[in-house]
Amino acid sequence: MKKTKEVFVHDAEEAILSIILKNPEFAYKTKDIKPFMFSSTIHQGLYLEIENFIDRQLVPEPSLLINSLGASNRLDTVGGETFIPYLLSLEFLAENFIEYVDLVIAAYKTRSVISIGNRLTMDKLDSSTIDDEIYSIKKTLDELTETSGGGTTRHIGSNMSDTFNTITARLDNPGVRGGTWGLPSLDVVSGGKSPGDLWIFGGRPGSGKTAAICNSVLADAAAGTPSLLIEKEMNFQTLIERLLSISLGIQLTNIRQGYLKQDDVDRIFEQLKIFKEYPIYIDSNFSSSASYLESTIRKYHKTKGIEVVYIDYIQLVADRGDNQTQELGKLSRMFKLLANDLNITNVLVSQLNRSVELRDDKRPVMSDLRQSGNLEEDADFVVGLYRDDYYNRESSQKGTMEYIILKNRNGPVGTLPMRFTAITNKIEEMTR
């Protein structure tokens, strides 16, 4: 027997609540849906409580929800003690979460339109109040339309004073609009890490991609800028050891292998206490999906105020296979839209094509990002990393890492040489 539309909508509502209860970070992906859009009063009540948790910057975990509802004698209004465990027992694909949300919103609009139709009968209409009825219907239809779009559309004359103040405020710090990279020459060329921008750092293995990201994370922390590092290649311990090596100048292999003097141990102990105060958040879930990453970014932006997100590296997020290029295109677009939506900076690390290794000059060029989805199209900045001494033992450029600006949407391109200390992964401005 086929399910009716009402049953499908009921299932979608239960799916939304079930997925959020099992994956609380998904609560940050439901900005377009409101409690009144649920058809069931029980679902409305539970979703409203979830919203209240989010507004108070609390994680809507099942046990906390039950305790909160029970303490205020509202548990019976959301199905009683057994309803939340029932939702937890359901099996829905988290990957379909957005589709469930869209279905519930569409069903709400359908019910609203049907309600309007039910009012438009001859015996209910009165010629003396017909204009009021038309106005009421138009207002309802406008509200339904507004739930689908137009929320970011503004007249060119809106907020002109804010625009002017933003421009004149730059006079106090010319050249740098966003957060610092900790590398003055890169800040000058790019204007820093500006909200809404998508950066791509590309390089072959051994070029120093993760080192560049780790140095930047520490620069954020020193400036008091909250950041989120999504690390897909190294575990938490390994990453902290890298950050310690960069910060303290202690050789990384000595930290990893235990060849440390007591003075080194003491310095590491003190540095870890400093790390505890840094606004750095690390996610090292190797198997996380795109939807998990989006939810995590939204959650930490709302609860911790993160301003910069790093993904190391993007190819490990996409499913491997024949459709990886298409997957990468979707991911790059998602991260660009997230940067604009949340007013943050997203920085993606990307592997380059193996064809680089076949050239005499192995410095990255823009075409090396081809077959990597739409990375080069979506990015505001593309930086290729190159170390000549990685390929040439007799290189005259030992200890140099080149930041090759391949794309700069609002400025010049070119090469910025940086000093790279391989034993610690420290990157510094090249001194003359």
Domain locations along the chain: 5-146, 176-429
Write the burial class of residue 157 (CB in 10 Å: 0-12 exposed, 13-18 middle, 19+ buried): exposed
Q: In the predicted model, is pLDDT for residue 174 greater than 90?
A: no
Distance, in Å, from the CA atom of 94 to the CA atom of 117, rounded to the nearest integer, reads: 35
Are the C-beta atoms of residues 378 and 198 closer than 8 Å to each other?
yes
pLDDT in tens, 292-329: 888 888 889 988 999 999 998 888 777 666 676 777 87
pLDDT for residue 432 is more than 60: no
Please write the tens of the pLDDT for every residue from 358-403: 788 888 888 887 665 577 788 899 999 999 888 888 888 888 999 9
For residue 225, give both structure tokens.
Answer: 């800028």
Kindly report the CATH number that applies to the domain delimited by 5-146: 1.10.860.10
pLDDT score recorded for residue 266:
93
Complete DSSP assignment for 147-164? TTS-TT---TTTTHHHHH
What tens digit of pLDDT does each residue of 233-275 get?
888 899 999 999 999 999 999 999 989 999 999 999 999 999 9
pLDDT at 31: 67
Q: What is the pLDDT of residues 175-234, one digit of tens each?
A: 567 788 989 899 888 888 999 999 999 988 888 999 999 999 999 999 999 999 998 888
* Adjacency order of strands within the sheet including 400-408: 280-283, 227-231, 308-312, 345-351, 198-203, 381-386, 400-408, 414-421, 426-429
The residues, any chain, with a CB within 8 Å of residue 326's CB and separated by 6 or more, are 373
Q: What is the pLDDT of residue 269?
A: 93
Q: At what angle do helices 236-248 and 262-275 cross, to 10 degrees?
A: 110
Task: Give per-residue pLDDT as tens, 57-105.
Answer: 788 888 888 888 888 888 888 888 889 999 999 989 888 888 888 888 8
Integer-rounded Cα radius of gyration of the chain: 26
For the stretch 14-29, pLDDT in tens is 999 999 999 888 887 7
Higher pLDDT, 172 or 351: 351
Domain 5-146 and domain 176-429, same fold? Reply is no
**CA torsion angle 223 226 232 233 (round to 10):** 30
User: Among the CATH numbers 3.40.50.300, 1.25.40.10, 2.30.130.30, 1.10.10.1150, which is that of 176-429?
Assistant: 3.40.50.300
Strand segments (E) across 176-226: 198-203
Residue 123: CB partners within 8 Å, gap ≥ 6? none
Can you tell me whether residue 83 is helix, strand or coil? Answer: helix
pLDDT tens digits, one per residue of 97-130:
888 888 888 888 888 777 766 666 655 556 565 6
Q: What are phi and psi of 421, to 5 degrees?
A: -100, 105
H/E stretch holding 10 reads helix 5-22
